[in-house]
Structure 1
Amino acid sequence: MKKKAVSIKTIATNLNISVTTVSFVLNGKANEKHISKLLTQKVLDYAKEVNYKPNQIAQSLRTGKSKLLVFMVEDISNSFFSKLARIIEDIAYEKGYKVIFCSNENDDEKSNDLITLFKFRQVDGFIIVPSPGIKSSIQELIDDNIPVVLLDRYFTGLECNSVVIDNNEAAFNATSHLIQNGFKNIGFITTDSDQTQMQDRLLGYEKAINDCNLNKFILKIPYNGTGNGICKSSIKNFIDKYKKLDAVFFATNYLTQSGLEVFKENASHLIHDLGIITFDDNEFFKIYNPTITAVSQPLTEISNELMKLLLQLLKNKEVKNEKVKNISLQAELKIRESSVSKEIFKVQF
């Protein structure tokens, strides 16, 4: 037979004190309500002894707070997002919140379905990597006074808190690094997207190429083709078409993985002959042969800034009246074997 859960009323009856007093103690308001330390400790000790667990649903109805946050990303299995999720989970837990993780697959319909579901469940706040067409849905969250912070990308003209990195500068620095190491025909492989982070990476590449009067070689792969054979065949055709390429800069880590597979399957010498840089680091790139140079985003700093913004919004009753903050952080170029001058590489290795 299932054991009946201990209630606040039970604790109050057994200790011969009021339900209100027990409630104040268990909700951390003993000092505020001038309840003695002796009585406070007595209630806490007894609650621990009988293994009291608060009724989360009742507590949510009473306080208007679910203590749940949503972390919605493009693909939670992607190493960049999963690492962020782990850090954010720890920060949230220390502040008394639990986190629900989900993937929107960069699909507007799925994004809107998830937002509607979690609004109905009355979660306290959102961190969202938005798909392209949900600007109005984000505005609705703000209008409904629900805390929301955007990650990785933003919507021009939308007054919403966000944390991004300076993708333009990061891509410019990575491309300039290749040029400085003697590479002159540098391909840029990206997704065919109008989203801010991808556009900024493309602009950074183009600026570095234009500054040195070099030729641009750009491949844009449809997002819905990045997870299947279309991606690999597109990369193969691109490499076959521009045989004079001496370096390739991949705009995402999953494109890099597809590209390395293409090289290995069709022309394994290219792995060593081409200069290679990836956007977003991965443990895999540190042990690959050669090790792969990567634009590394500051995961801990991003997570801290996201939670700082969200927790501040959660404290305020009027989210719409809070001053919007758009935080741009700097990425780090982790230089490894794949981007050094091939002449130097041959001498050293």
Structure 2
Amino acid sequence: MKKKLSIVDIANALNVSKTTISFILNGRAQEKRISAELVETVMKYVEEVGYKPNSLAKSLRTGKSNTIGLMVEDISNPFFASIARLIEERAYKNGYKIIYCSTDNDTQKTKELIDMFRDRHVDGYIISPPEGIEEDIESLTKDGMPVVLFDRHLPNVDTDFIEIDNLFSTYNATRHLIDQGFKNVAFVTFASNQTQMIDRVKGYQNAIEAAGLPVLIKEILFNQKEELIMNPLREFMIQNTNIDAILFGTNHIGTCGLKIMQEMGKNTPTDIAIISFDDYEVFELYSPPVTAIAQPIDEIADNVISVLLEKLDYHSASTKLKGVILKTNLKIRKSSIKASA
């Protein structure tokens, strides 16, 4: 295997100090009063031998890697994928590249990924955090690393965060089903103590209790494997035959719910009305189209990267933390409209 050239190799070949070579390659030749002739000689040689600088070594010298670590629950999920794409586009225009990864909502995996990003000297972190990483986030902020959380936050950790009004979103969606005349409205969600999921449950409960209707909540353990979501959901629907409407707490559960509906021969909204959190194309193409709580993807991405870039600006004296709460849009489609309404 061919040995990768280093600054020392270039210095030895040209009989020039490695410090001088480093200044030239880092664009500091004029500052250090290095002659134009020497700069030309070095750059010509670098081009001839195809030298490429070690990005990690460069980050150690300059204190910047121009990379951002983006950690989400599941990068294949349409919600996170859409936000990640927009963040990447904006970051690139500002001279930064993004390193993606999925945490799978796994605390230990997230801790290991944070360590990996530390080793790579990323300049900032964008995280949709699982439970149990408070100490890791605090360690980052104590070390002066910019951290922006999104989709949810950690109540006992002081960080910038961007999220939506989860409580009102599910309250509003549940209220819509009640106004349509549905009496046994269930809420199916992932079992979680994360802030966004707690608020979604509260929103549903507030609307149901205000209407004097029975609370029907099914919490399912988070898993990437659909069958491990569908099995408990199937059992819940078989055991509760009186359910006439379901609000799904995430689009992942929502798509699983639609599959169970088809499997059981249930029609929507005739047999069971449906609303899902997080809108995307599948819900629009489904027959009938599915009512969904649409998150403001563009606004979320724009706020996340704007806040982080502000923190990364070494000339910015702003230390005030930002907590941004954005509104959602309930896109009403045929799956939640009662035929007689």
TM-score range, shorter chain: 0.7 to 0.9
Deviations 1:82-106 (A, max 9, x none): 1111101101100111100001110
> Could you say which residue in structure 2 is the equivalent of 1:203?
202
Is the Cα contact below 8 Å between 1:74 and 1:105 reproduced in 2?
yes
SS of structure 2 residue aligned to 1:219 = strand
Equivalent-residue separation in structure 2 for 1:216 and 1:152 (angstroms): 26
Choose which of 256, 259, 272 in structure 2 pairs with 1:258: 256
Equivalent-residue separation in structure 2 for 1:270 and 1:292 (angstroms): 9
Equivalent-residue separation in structure 2 for 1:334 and 1:257 (angstroms): 17
Q: How far is 1:271 from its partner?
A: 5.9
Equivalent-residue separation in structure 2 for 1:221 and 1:278 (angstroms): 15
Is 1:68 the counterpart of 2:67? The answer is: yes
Is the Cα contact below 8 Å between 1:188 and 1:205 reproduced in 2?
yes
> Does the C-alpha gap of structure 1 residues 211 and 96 become closer, same or farther in structure 2, counting only changes over 3 Å?
same
> Could you say which residue in structure 1 is the equivalent of 2:294?
296
Q: How does 1:1-349 map to 2 (within 5 A)?
A: 26=27, 56-224=55-223, 227-270=225-268, 272-316=270-314, 322-344=319-341
Q: TM-score, normalised by structure 2?
A: 0.85
Equivalent-residue separation in structure 1 for 2:252 and 2:234 (angstroms): 15
Is the Cα contact below 8 Å between 1:91 and 1:307 reproduced in 2?
yes
Equivalent-residue separation in structure 1 for 2:311 and 2:239 (angstroms): 51
Q: How far is 1:270 from its partner?
A: 5.0
Is the Cα contact below 8 Å between 2:166 and 2:203 reproduced in 1?
yes
Deviations 1:110-140 (A, max 9, x none): 0001101111111111101111111111111
Is the Cα contact below 8 Å between 2:147 and 2:308 reproduced in 1?
yes
> Could you say which residue in structure 1 is the equivalent of 2:36?
none
Q: How far is 1:227 from its partner?
A: 2.6
Runs of 4+ residues over 4 Å off in structure 1 = 4-7, 18-24, 49-55
Aligned-residue CA RMSD (Å)? 3.2
Percent identity of the aligned residues? 40
The one-letter code of the counterpart of 1:338 is S
Is the Cα contact below 8 Å between 2:222 and 2:229 reproduced in 1?
no
SS of structure 1 residue aligned to 2:340 = helix
Answer with 302-311 or 261-270: which moved more: 261-270
Answer with 84-93 or 321-330: which moved more: 321-330
Equivalent-residue separation in structure 2 for 1:300 and 1:54 (angstroms): 35
Q: How far is 1:246 from its partner?
A: 1.2
The one-letter code of the counterpart of 1:209 is I
Deviations 1:122-176 (A, max 9, x none): 1111101111111111111111111111111111121111111110011111111
The one-letter code of the counterpart of 1:144 is D
Structure 1 unaligned regions, length at least 5: 36-41, 345-349
> Does the C-alpha gap of structure 1 residues 57 and 219 become closer, same or farther in structure 2, counting only changes over 3 Å?
closer
Structure 2 unaligned regions, length at least 5: 15-19, 34-39
Is the Cα contact below 8 Å between 1:272 and 1:290 reproduced in 2?
no
Q: TM-score, normalised by structure 1?
A: 0.83
Q: How far is 1:185 from its partner?
A: 1.3
